[in-house]
């Protein structure tokens, strides 16, 4: 029989597409369709590998002709070129359900396969409450368990991503942030593939520390300071908005906005995400006179003398800087 229909070939094909699916998942949203396509193909091939291990005949379409039956059964070694067609992804999953390998009813898995087909036909639309990455990881682990294959060996260097997605002990925000960090770390490490072993450490050592810096965006004042990126360990920037608190006494507060890393493109937004990433932050207005003077001129001398801005600058500086 054709070697491409053997258990070994189907299993290795599923593994190859699984890794490329995770790689696409690590990229920006423009790669999301590639993730859906490759995740679906990976599940299809792994499902067919499970069928092939029981019997190659299970790979055959229901309405196949007799010579294909003989071919899949191993009675003949070849058929007319172009006539070999295997069961569809949905068909393979249906057979595994009848064999009690997969859950009898799994709408999330059905949705993932439908999305894969939709990408191929330019009509994919993902519901807001559907998590294709979780479905992909869960179904893969279920099939690997049946096949008695090691998930860590199967996922390879992408194992931390799958582990985060499958974790049930973490809150939703912890899972989301952990996945963002793991994805950013893989993006960063992929940049150094094939380079010298110390290239990554050399790059980090040469990266410029960020801030602290005061700056203005529209009518808001912000403070940026450096922080070690939780994904790639390079210098990242944590930004906070300066807020004038009127109660119980007027004081300057810092409303955390985001952490951004230009080296691995990790972005964490808001206090909750930073806390989920174990990013410790504490803000103080920099004492450097040049930085304070720069903020003053941005806030006050730019032709926008509204009361809030004047009050804020008086609280920051006490008086106009010299």
Predicted confidence (pLDDT) per residue in 219-228, tens digit = 677 888 889 9
The answer to whether 32 touches 24, Cβ cutoff 8 Å, is yes
The predicted-structure confidence for 7-48, as pLDDT tens digits, reads as follows 999 999 999 999 999 988 888 778 888 999 999 999 999 999
Global model pTM greater than 0.75: no
Phi and psi of 143, rounded to 5°?
A: -70, -40
Mean pLDDT by 10 residues, the chain (322 residues): 80 95 85 91 95 86 60 58 74 91 90 86 69 91 93 89 79 86 89 86 86 71 86 90 63 78 92 86 60 53 49 50 44
**Residue 45: what pLDDT?**
95
Distance of CA 271 to the CA centre of its chain: 20
**Distance of alpha carbon 33 from alpha carbon 163, whole angstroms:** 22
pLDDT for the residue 246: 56
């Amino acid at each position: 029989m054709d070697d491409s229909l053997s258990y070994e070939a189907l299993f290795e094909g599923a593994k190859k597409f699984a890794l490329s699916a995770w790689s696409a998942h690590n990229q920006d949203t423009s790669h999301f369709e590639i993730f859906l396509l490759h995740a679906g193909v990976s599940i299809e091939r792994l499902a067919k590998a499970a069928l092939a291990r029981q019997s190659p005949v299970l790979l055959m379409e229901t309405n196949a002709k007799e010579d294909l039956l003989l071919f899949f059964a191993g009675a003949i070694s070849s058929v007319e070129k172009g006539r070999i067609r295997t069961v569809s992804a949905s068909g393979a999953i249906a057979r595994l359900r009848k064999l009690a390998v997969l859950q009898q009813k799994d709408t999330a898995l059905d949705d993932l396969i439908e999305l894969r087909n939709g990408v191929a036909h330019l009509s994919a639309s993902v519901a807001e409450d559907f998590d294709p990455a979780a479905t992909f990881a869960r179904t893969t682990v279920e099939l690997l368990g049946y096949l008695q294959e090691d998930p860590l060996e199967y996922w390879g260097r992408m194992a931390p991503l799958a582990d985060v997605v499958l974790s049930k002990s973490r809150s939703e925000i912890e899972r989301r942030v952990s996945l963002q960090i793991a994805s950013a770390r893989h993006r960063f490490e992929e940049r150094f593939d094939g380079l010298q072993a110390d290239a990554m450490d050399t790059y980090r050592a040469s990266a410029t520390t960020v801030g602290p810096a005061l700056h203005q965006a529209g009518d808001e004042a912000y403070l940026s300071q450096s922080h070690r990126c939780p994904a790639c360990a390079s210098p990242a920037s944590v930004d906070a908005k300066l807020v004038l608190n009127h109660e119980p006494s007027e004081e300057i507060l810092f409303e955390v906005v985001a952490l951004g890393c230009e080296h691995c493109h990790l972005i964490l937004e808001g206090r909750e995400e930073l806390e989920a990433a174990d990013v410790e932050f504490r803000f103080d207005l920099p004492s450097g006179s040049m930085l304070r003077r720069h903020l003053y001129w941005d806030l006050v001398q730019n032709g926008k003398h509204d009361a809030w801005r004047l009050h804020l600058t008086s609280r920051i500086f006490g008086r106009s800087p010299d």
